[in-house]
Chain A
């Protein structure tokens, strides 16, 4: 059964249950050919289950997963045109680097010549910059190197889709950033679809061109990283992706304002097609400016200051609203003049920066 689509991967009404527990349900997702998509969510949200259903390690209880237009129900993992980079790499400890990478090529039927296996193995190793490490044993490699062996092993068979299960979780921060860039350029070089599972929103936003945010077994929003960050469709997304201040508020009827819990009324942002009633406002820390004098929307007292180098994070006790997080450029207040803990300060922001959700 072929579907006339250019999607490499499609989930159609997929659900997966373990006994009476639903791991995921109502999953509809289309990943265009050559895209870099991230499945992002807290642990237990079902993102890994989705990835494993693509890989063939789990079968959906309902619906179907399509790869390259073909329904994959009942197709075992070893017959799927996808390869996976496992979370802890799952490299074969009894084989050396070269044998690990060649493993997939040796499974091809009809068999290919040993010379061809050698050539393609070397090619894959060079692609991940491990050309000189062919004869090393796995336990002699560092974490970052093992990560690359896993990558080489997964791309050597030229899969239609590469699956990555938290591939960078075990690396330290510096290595992680370097690998993010490498993965991105590798994806462009290979031109194949990447599906990345991660709980790290920074990783998802920085690497992928499509982010699929999941929560409690469902997809809650799909969009580009900019859309996800700038236009979260739910409080969950606003909270999970990036940092957010949550403010209880009330939407007043008609042309009336949004009234924050401390009584301050603000013009409705254009996007709010507000039914009147209780609401929750999400406001990014970097959307707020601290001002010493002149007009400000809210007033408060600085309680903590965390110096982060290029920026400064303030904790501000806002009158009637509680703790706010404010991220400021170092120079946002008169050159390098930082606000001091204990100082009274004004908070100013564009009402259109508010994301308003029904409570």
Chain B
């Protein structure tokens, strides 16, 4: 009996070990290093020198704009994504002809075959002065500025992250038992009431997964604000790149990164709490 238990423990260890080692070396250790850095000082020539000070955290307000942009635009982008994604996912899961469903769903994923960098560059040209503003000026609408605005960043965000929002919602709607919809109609609910009384609450786990996934990724977003915000719409990700690569202020960058991780954890826990409450079960998988 004990020998068997030991065998089973060994098997478990063998299965978990590679991932655990990977995470330990590339996630836990760097994170500890970052924590240490965050309480240290910038060496005169850049980088890190040991110390124990809260000065870096006290300095956080100087990057308030980056925090503000990130904490506003990330959820806003996620919500905007949701507004576009839900009808799409609903169509794919409920209304689309089952024969073409697989093809349509794979079309949602196809953009992932090309690098986000390339696709975002394309948006730079579309929104830039030789793109839509140029077309608008032909019909007499002059001086339209699209690129390097918060709007452009939001557009890029929705464009880039839409598939990540559509898929979990699609899955939860696709899993939805059609008989529940019939039962609702049978009990006298009009289609709109059925949607708000049955379909929407039962797809909330997918919605929460999508919103959490996109929000979390957006909190660390760098590329889209860099290309479409032109340094004018600054995210925390951009601040971090600046601090680590330009001004080489590692301790301050670490303090910002640690704060960001803390925010992500809080957001994630809140989202899970809400999802559980609404769905009434403890079976919500986030990510």
Q: Which residue of A lies closest to B189 (CB)?
A: A107
Name B residues whose Cβ lies closer than 8 Å to a Cβ of A.
177, 179-180, 182-191, 193, 197-198, 201-202, 278-281
Is A92 on the interface with B (CB-CB < 8 A)? yes
Look across to chain A and name the residue whose beta carbon is closest to the beta carbon of B185.
A77
A92 & B180 in contact (Cβ 8 Å cutoff) = yes
Bound CA–CA A87/B198 (angstroms): 19
| Chain B, interface SS category | helix
Q: Give B196 Cβ to nearest chain A Cβ, in Å.
A: 12
**A157 is an interface residue with CB less than 8 A from chain B:** yes
Question: Which A residues are in CB contact (< 8 Å) with B278?
Answer: 94
Inter-chain contacts of B179 with A (CB < 8 A): 86-88, 90
Interface check A178, CB cutoff 8 A: no
Judged by a CB distance under 8 angstroms, whether A236 is at the interface is: no
Given A90-B179, A90-B180, A92-B180: A103 in contact with B187 (beta carbons within 8 A): yes
Task: Give the contacting residue for B187; candidates A57, A76, A87, A153; CB below 8 A.
Answer: A153
Asked if A94 and B187 sit within 8 Å, CB to CB, the answer is no
Q: Which residues of B contact A107 (CB under 8 A)?
A: 187-190, 193
| Contact residues in B for A93 (Cβ distance below 8 Å) | 202, 280-281
Q: Are A90 and B183 neighbours in the complex by a CB distance under 8 Å?
A: yes
Contact with B185, one of A76, A139, A153, A154 (Cβ below 8 angstroms):
A76
Whether the pair B182, A57 counts as a contact (CB closer than 8 A) is yes
Which residues of chain A have C-beta atoms less than 8 A from B180's C-beta?
Answer: 90, 92
Please determine whether A55 and B187 come into contact, CB atoms closer than 8 angstroms. Answer: no
| Shortest distance from the beta carbon of B276 to any chain A beta carbon, whole Å | 11
Q: Which residues of A (286-307) have their CB < 8 Å from a CB of B? A: none
Residue of A nearest to B205 (CB): A94
A56 within 8 A of B: yes
Asked if A104 is at the interface of the complex by the 8 Å CB criterion, the answer is: yes
Query: If the complex has contacts A92-B198, A94-B201, A107-B193, are A78 and B186 also in contact, measured as CB distance less than 8 A?
Result: yes
A146 within 8 A of B: no
Q: Which residues of B contact A92 (CB under 8 A)?
A: 180, 183-184, 198
- Asked if A12 lies at the interface with its beta carbon under 8 angstroms from chain B, I say no
Closest CB in chain B relative to A116 CB, distance in Å:
16
User: Smallest CB-CB separation from A88: which chain B residue?
Assistant: B179
Contact B177 A90 (CB under 8 A): yes
Instruction: Give the residues in chain B near A84, CB-CB below 8 Å.
Output: 182-183, 186
Q: In whole angstroms, how far apart are the Cα atoms of A107 and B184 in the complex?
A: 9
Contact present for B182 and A90 (CB under 8 Å): yes
Interface centre among B182, B183, B187, B197, by most chain A C-beta atoms within 10 angstroms, is B187
Query: A108: CB under 8 A from chain B?
Result: yes
Chain B residues whose C-beta falls within 8 Å of the C-beta of A90 in the assembled complex: 177, 179-180, 182-183
Expressed in whole angstroms, the minimum distance between the Cβ of B199 and any Cβ of chain A is 11
Pairwise interchain contact B280-A94, C-beta atoms closer than 8 A? yes
Q: List 28 A-B contacts (CB under 8 A).
A: A55-B186, A56-B186, A57-B186, A77-B182, A77-B186, A78-B186, A78-B187, A78-B191, A79-B188, A82-B186, A84-B182, A87-B179, A88-B179, A90-B179, A91-B183, A92-B180, A92-B183, A93-B202, A93-B280, A94-B201, A95-B280, A103-B184, A103-B189, A104-B187, A137-B280, A139-B281, A154-B186, A157-B187
Distance, CA A90 to CA B181, complexed state (A): 9
Residue of B nearest to A76 (CB): B185
* B185 lies within 8 A of A94 (CB): no
State whether the Cβ of A83 lies closer than 8 Å to any Cβ in chain B. yes
The distance from the CB of B202 to the nearest CB of chain A, in whole angstroms, is: 6
How far is it, in angstroms, between the C-alpha of A57 and the C-alpha of B185 when the chains are bound?
Answer: 9
Contact indicator A86/B185 (Cβ below 8 Å): no
Q: Which residue of A lies closest to B280 (CB)?
A: A94
Chain A residues with CB under 8 Å of B186's CB are 55-57, 77-78, 82-84, 154
- Docked Cα-Cα span, A57 to B183, in Å, equals 10
Given A93-B281, A94-B201, A137-B280, A78:B182 Cβ within 8 A: no
